[in-house]
Amino acid sequence: MSAKYTNIEQTRLDKVARLRAQGIEPYPHRVERTHTSAQILAEFEQAEAAGSETPVEATLVGRMRSMRPMGKITFAHLEDGSGRIQIFLRANDLGQEKLELFNKEFDLGDFVQARGEMFRTRSGEVTLKVQDFRLLSKSITPLPAAKDEIVDGEVVQHATLSEPELRYRQRYADLAVNPEVRRIFRTRAALVRALREFLDSHDFLEVETPVLQPIYGGAAARPFVTYHNQLKQDLYLRISFELYLKRLLVGGYEGVYEIGRDFRNEGVDRTHNPEFTQLEFYWAYADYLKVMDLTEQMIRFAAERVLGKHELQYLDHTIRLGAPWQRMELNEGLLEVTGIDIDQHPTAESLASAMRAKGMEPNPNDTRGKLIDGLLGDYLAPTLIQPTFVYNYPRDISPLAKSLPGNPQITERFEGYLAGMELCNAFTELNDPLDQEARFVEMGRDYAQDDEERHPMDEDYLRAMRYGMPPCGGFGMGVDRLAMLFTNSPNIREVILFPHLRKEEE
RNA sequence: GGGUGCGUAGCUCAAUGGUAGAGCAGUGGCCUUUUAAGCCAUUGGUUCAGGGUUCGAGCCCCUGCGCACUCACCA
C-alpha cells in the first residue's frame, strides 16, 4: 500500500486531525439508531395519512451520498441498507457553528448519525429535520461516483464507476456506488435460498463433503493441486461433489444435496470462472426422467420465488419457464442442425470423416464422444434458447451414467439448456460396481496418460458401491449461470462478488 | 494460447506529432426548503510501465503489464 495520498485524501486526513483537535472522534464505537430509512418513510407517511399531529421522531444512520449546502441551511442524503433519506440542517436549529462543522468537515461517503423529526419539504420530499448529528466514520478516499439525482424516489446516476476492472477489483466501491449491483447479489441470494427451500421441501438432506480431496473426480476437468505439509500429501481442490454424495446414498440417505464451490483449472471466459458454485443432488429410486421432471419444477419454483413470474428476460431473449421443457434426443438434435446422423458413425474415425465432409475441422485426437460433445456445443447448444433437455449421451463421455437398457453405448444422461447455455447435467447413476470399474479402466485408456481430465480410479468409491447403492438419479447445475439468467447478466463476473482477475501490479 | 480494441485528474471523458483540457468531485467565497441546486474564483497530471523514432510523442514504432471483446480450449 502506497503511503502517498491524493490531494483529496490529504484534505480529508486534515479534517480528521481537525476533528480530533476539537475532541470529536471520527471513528466512534457506539451508534444509535431508531429506524432504517425505509421504516421511517413508511411510519411518517402512515402518520401523515392518519392526520396525526404528533411529531415523528427518529435517529437515522447512513452514508452521506449527496450534500447541498446553501448558506444557513444544508440538504443531504443518507443511504442505508434500505434506501435513501434526505436530511435537512438549519442554523436556527443547530447553531451557526454546528452547521459549519457539518459543511466544512463532513464529506460525501462519511457515515453519519442524525436525530430529529420528520417533515415534508416544499417540494414534497419526506425529510429529517436534524436537531443533532454525529460522525460515525470518516471516508478518506472519495467514492468513485459522480453526482446522483433523485427523480420520483428513484436514484438516477449521471455517470458512475463503469470501468470493469475497477468494478471487479474494488467490488466494495462498485457496491457502494451502484445500487443495481447490490440488487444482483440480493437476487442471487434469493435464488440460492429458493433452491434450498425447494430441495428441503422434497426431503433432500443438505450435506457438506470435502473440498480437499486425495482423488478428484465426478467430472472431466483439470484440477488445482495443493499440498498438505504435515501429511506430506498432494490434495486436489474438488472439481465436483458427485462421488462423495453418492457414497451417502450407500449410507442410507434417500436424497442428499450440496451447494458449494467447485474449482477447475481451465480457461476463463464469460461463462467460466476458476471457482464457481455448484448445486448437486442425488435421489434414490429415481431415474433421469424423474430428475428431468424435478428439474423443471425446481427452476419454475425458483422463478416464482425470486422473480414472481415464469418468464426470464435474458439479453435479447424472453425465456418461458411455465411450459414443459422441450425434450430432444441428442442424436436427433444433432441430425437436425448438422445433417450428421451420429448413429451411422460408430467410430471416431467415421464420425470425423463425416464432419470433414461437412467442412468441419475435427480434432484428430478426439474420441467419438468428444467429437459429439463438440458438435453439441458448437452447433446444437446455441440454438437452444427456450428450456430444453437434450438426452441420451454416448457412453465414453458419461463414465458415471447408467446405460440404456439393452444399449451399452448410450447412457441415460441429459443436459439442460437455456439461452444457448448449458445449465445442468444429470443422469441415471451407474450403480453396478463392476461396470463402474470397467468404465474407469476405459477412461484411463481413452485419455492420454498425461491428460489431466482423465478420471483417476477411485477404489474407495468402488468399495462403497460394492456394498450396494440404490438405483438413483443425480443432478448438477452451475448456480452462477442460473444467477446470470435470473439477473440478466451477460458475464459470469457480474454475479460473482469477487471474480478472479490477474494479480494487480505492485 | 491467437486476434482485435482499450489504458489520460478521484469518476466519466476530450485533446492533426507542436503549451495536456472539460463536466462532476475537491478547495475558497455568496446563498434559510434544495434535490445533477445556482453563481464567482480556484487546486489537482510519472497521459499504465520501459525502450525507440523525432527539433518535438498522450498521439508513431517495439517490449512488457492489465482489462474488454472474440477465437481456441473447457461438463
Q: Is any atom of nucleic acid chain B found less than 7 Å from the CB of residue A139?
A: no
Question: What are A90's strand-pairing partners?
Answer: A73
Closest nucleotide relative to residue A500's CA, C1' based: B67
From the CA of A358 to the C1' of B64: give the distance in Å: 43
Residues 96-125 of A with CB under 7 A from strand B: 104, 107-108, 119, 121-125
Query: Residue A49 and residue A367: Cα distance in Å, rounded?
Result: 73
pLDDT of residue A3: 46
Residues 20-59 of A with CB under 7 A from strand B: none
Residue A224 falls inside a structural domain: no
Closest nucleotide relative to residue A120's CA, C1' based: B33
Closest nucleotide relative to residue A381's CA, C1' based: B75
Amino acid whose CA is nearest the C1' of B70: A269
Do A318 and A336 fall into the same domain? Answer: no
Do A262 and A370 fall into the same domain? Answer: no
Do A296 and A424 fall into the same domain? Answer: yes
Do A311 and A350 fall into the same domain? Answer: no
Handedness of CA A405, A407, A413, A417 (dihedral sign): negative
Query: Residue A504 and residue A506: Cα distance in Å, rounded?
Result: 6
Query: Residue A72 and residue A93: Cα distance in Å, rounded?
Result: 10
Alpha carbon distance, N-terminus to C-terminus of chain A = 8
Q: Dihedral through CA A62, CA A63, CA A68, CA A71, nearest 10?
A: 70
Residue A482 falls inside a structural domain: yes
Q: Please, what is the Cα angle at A91 between A87 and A92, to 5 degrees? A: 105
Contacts of A143 (CB under 8 A, 6+ apart): A108, A109, A173, A176, A177
Q: DSSP code of A335?
A: H
Query: Residue A83 and residue A37: Cα distance in Å, rounded?
Result: 6
Shortest CA distance to A85 belongs to which of A114, A110, A52, A56?
A: A114
Residue A117 falls inside a structural domain: yes
Residue A71 falls inside a structural domain: yes
From the CA of A157 to the C1' of B26: give the distance in Å: 20
Closest nucleotide relative to residue A122's CA, C1' based: B33
Do A373 and A487 fall into the same domain? Answer: no
Q: DSSP code of A42?
A: H
Residue span of the structural domain in which A45 resides: 7-160
Do A286 and A366 fall into the same domain? Answer: no
Give whole-number Cα distances, A418 to A15, A120, A152, A486, in Å. 54, 48, 36, 11
Query: Strand B: which bases are under 7 Å from protein Cβ?
Result: 1, 9-13, 23-28, 30-38, 43-44, 65-75
Q: CB-side exposure of A502: number of CA atoms within 13 Å?
A: 3
Residue A506 falls inside a structural domain: no
Residues 389-418 of A with CB under 7 A from strand B: none
Q: Is any atom of nucleic acid chain B found less than 7 Å from the CB of residue A377?
A: yes
Residues 437-456 of A with CB under 7 A from strand B: 453
From the CA of A154 to the C1' of B30: give the distance in Å: 31
From the CA of A178 to the C1' of B69: give the distance in Å: 23
Q: DSSP code of A380?
A: I
Do A265 and A191 fall into the same domain? Answer: yes
Q: Is any atom of nucleic acid chain B found less than 7 Å from the CB of residue A278?
A: yes
pLDDT of residue A146: 65
Closest nucleotide relative to residue A86's CA, C1' based: B35
Do A370 and A344 fall into the same domain? Answer: yes
Do A64 and A128 fall into the same domain? Answer: yes
Q: Is any atom of nucleic acid chain B found less than 7 Å from the CB of residue A425?
A: yes
Residues 235-274 of A with CB under 7 A from strand B: 239-240, 262, 264, 266-267, 269-270, 272
CATH number at residue A483: 3.30.930.10
Q: Is any atom of nucleic acid chain B found less than 7 Å from the CB of residue A164?
A: yes
Residue A473 falls inside a structural domain: yes
Helices A368-375, A330-338: crossing angle, 10 deg rounding:
60
Rounded to the nearest 5°, which phi and psi values hold at A440?
Answer: -60, -40
Cell of A399: 463414465
Shortest CA distance to A424 belongs to which of A370, A473, A366, A491?
A: A473
From the CA of A286 to the C1' of B14: give the distance in Å: 64
Q: Give how many domains chain A has, as a whole number.
A: 3
Count of positions (residues) in chain A = 506
Q: Is any atom of nucleic acid chain B found less than 7 Å from the CB of residue A220?
A: yes
From the CA of A45 to the C1' of B51: give the distance in Å: 67
Residue A166 falls inside a structural domain: no
Pair A253, A214: CB distance under 8 Å: no
Q: Is any atom of nucleic acid chain B found less than 7 Å from the CB of residue A159?
A: yes
pLDDT tens per residue across all 506 residues of chain A: 334 788 899 999 999 999 999 999 999 999 999 999 999 999 999 999 999 889 999 999 999 999 999 999 999 999 999 999 999 999 999 999 999 999 999 999 999 999 999 999 999 999 999 999 999 999 999 998 766 555 544 445 556 787 888 899 899 999 998 888 999 999 999 999 999 999 999 999 999 999 999 988 888 888 888 889 999 999 999 999 999 999 999 999 999 999 999 999 888 888 899 999 999 999 999 999 999 999 999 999 999 999 999 999 998 889 999 889 999 999 999 999 999 999 999 998 899 889 888 888 888 778 888 899 989 988 999 999 999 999 999 998 899 999 999 999 999 999 999 999 999 999 999 999 999 998 888 777 665 555 555 667 889 999 999 999 999 999 999 999 999 999 999 899 999 999 988 876 54
- Whether this model's ipTM surpasses 0.85 comes out as yes
From the CA of A179 to the C1' of B37: give the distance in Å: 23
CATH number at residue A113: 2.40.50.140
pLDDT of residue A1: 34
Tell the burial category of A125 from Cβ atoms under 10 Å away from its Cβ (0-12, 13-18, 19+): middle
Question: Is A156 strand, coil or helix?
Answer: strand
Residue A230 falls inside a structural domain: no
Query: Residue A206 and residue A109: Cα distance in Å, rounded?
Result: 41
Pair A464, A244: CB distance under 8 Å: no
Query: Residue A337 and residue A250: Cα distance in Å, rounded?
Result: 41
Greatest Cα-to-Cα distance within chain A, rounded to the nearest angstrom: 90
Residues 167-186 of A with CB under 7 A from strand B: 168
Do A247 and A114 fall into the same domain? Answer: no
Contacts of A293 (CB under 8 A, 6+ apart): none
Closest nucleotide relative to residue A425's CA, C1' based: B75
Amino acid whose CA is nearest the C1' of B34: A75
Do A18 and A145 fall into the same domain? Answer: yes
Do A59 and A133 fall into the same domain? Answer: yes
Query: Residue A286 and residue A281: Cα distance in Å, rounded?
Result: 11
Q: What is the 3-state secondary structure (H, E, C) of A319-331?
A: EECCCCCEEEEHH
pLDDT of residue A107: 95
Query: Residue A115 and residue A131: Cα distance in Å, rounded?
Result: 6
Amino acid whose CA is nearest the C1' of B65: A505
Q: Please, what is the Cα angle at A95 between A94 and A98, to 5 degrees? A: 75
